[in-house]
Homo-oligomer: A and B are copies of this chain.
Amino acid sequence: MHRPDLKVGELARRTGISVRTLHYYDEIGLLTPARRGDGNHRLYAVADIARLQQITSLRQLGLSLEEIRAVLEDPDCTPLRVVELHLAQAHQRLAAERALCDRLEALAAALGRMEEVSIDMLMQTIEGITNMDQYFTPEQRAEIAERGRQIGQERIREVEAEWPQLIEQVRVEMERGTDPSSETVQALARRWSALVREFTGGNPGIEQGLRDMYRQESASSNPHLDPRMPEYMAYIGKALQASK
């Protein structure tokens, strides 16, 4: 009546903690039942139950069993410090997860736009996305991902189809030596800017990153990019200058 000590099975049923876990906590000395009795059965007293609740509460916060032991047994170890330390780690994991999700989303979107995906294509796409990370801040990447969702797959596919044509036209005019201020080139430049703005959303930071990326990547002979992209970009730049 005064001390309804519980056996493992009983305690497990009442708390939802598995018997194995209780055994384990006993094994590592985190929660040792008050006494043994009747065939060496573990008998948990009220204080043990309270301690178990403390342990589970702290576990829900993601503390390791070692950390929990420290908080519960070391009086020098203030909960605030432990929690703050743990919070810092949680923040780091959070940031890492976010970055991972962003990359996976970009990858899934890119793969979704392709009909057949060979391993090679997959690797190239991954590389492309990984390279992107170097040219944009996390915030910018989030913004780009957001715009990608808003614009939609079809429109992206359209633009991806239009780009090579546009580039080809620019190449032709450039090799012909057409004056950048001519109406033909002006029209191409306007179209070019429009497509770029559709991607950047007018954000100048993103636009800058995009320029850097094209310059760098085509310089380091990225197989996706026309190595003469910087030339085209300069040509279009002149055209835009002239229109002002």
Contacting residues, chain B, for A108 (C-beta < 8 A):
80, 83-84, 87
Partner of A57, one of B79, B93, B123: B123
**B79:A111 contact, CB within 8 angstroms:** yes
**Dominant secondary structure of chain A at its interface with chain B:** helix
Say which size band chain A's interface belongs to.
35 or more
The answer on a CB contact under 8 Å between B117 and A61 is: no
Q: Which residues of B contact A91 (CB under 8 A)?
A: 101
Given A80-B117, A111-B79, A123-B54, also A61-B104 (CB < 8 A): yes
The CA-CA distance from A105 to B83 in the complex, in Å, is 9
Interface residues of A in 103-122 (CB under 8 A from B): 103-105, 107-108, 111-112, 117, 119, 122
- Does A242 reach chain B (CB closer than 8 Å)? no
Residue numbers in B under 8 Å from A94 (CB-CB): 94, 97-98, 101
How far does the alpha carbon of A91 sit from the alpha carbon of B101 in the complex, in Å? 7
- A90 sits at the interface (CB 8 A): yes
Q: Complex formed: what's the CA distance from A79 to B79 in Å?
A: 45
Q: Is A126 an interface residue (CB 8 A)?
A: yes
Residue among A61, A79, A100 with the highest chain B CB neighbour number at 10 A: A79
Give CA–CA (A60, B58) in the complex, Å: 31
- Select from chain B the residue with minimum beta-carbon distance to A117: B79
Asked if A72 CB lies within 8 Å of chain B CBs, one says yes
A61-92 interface bits toward B, Cβ cutoff 8 Å, 1 = contact, 0 = none? 11000000001100000111001101100110
Q: Are A57 and B126 in contact (CB under 8 A)?
A: yes
- Taking the complex as formed, is A137 at the interface, i.e. its CB lies under 8 A from any CB of chain B? no
Given known A-B contacts A57-B127, A123-B57, A83 and B111 have beta carbons under 8 A apart: yes
Q: 23 A–B contact pairs at CB < 8 A?
A: A57-B126, A57-B127, A61-B103, A61-B126, A62-B100, A62-B104, A71-B122, A79-B111, A79-B122, A80-B108, A80-B111, A80-B112, A83-B108, A83-B111, A84-B108, A86-B104, A87-B105, A87-B108, A90-B97, A90-B100, A94-B97, A94-B101, A97-B97
- Which 10 A-B residue pairs are closest in the complex by CB-CB distance? A87-B104, A80-B111, A94-B97, A79-B122, A90-B101, A57-B126, A79-B117, A83-B108, A97-B97, A84-B108
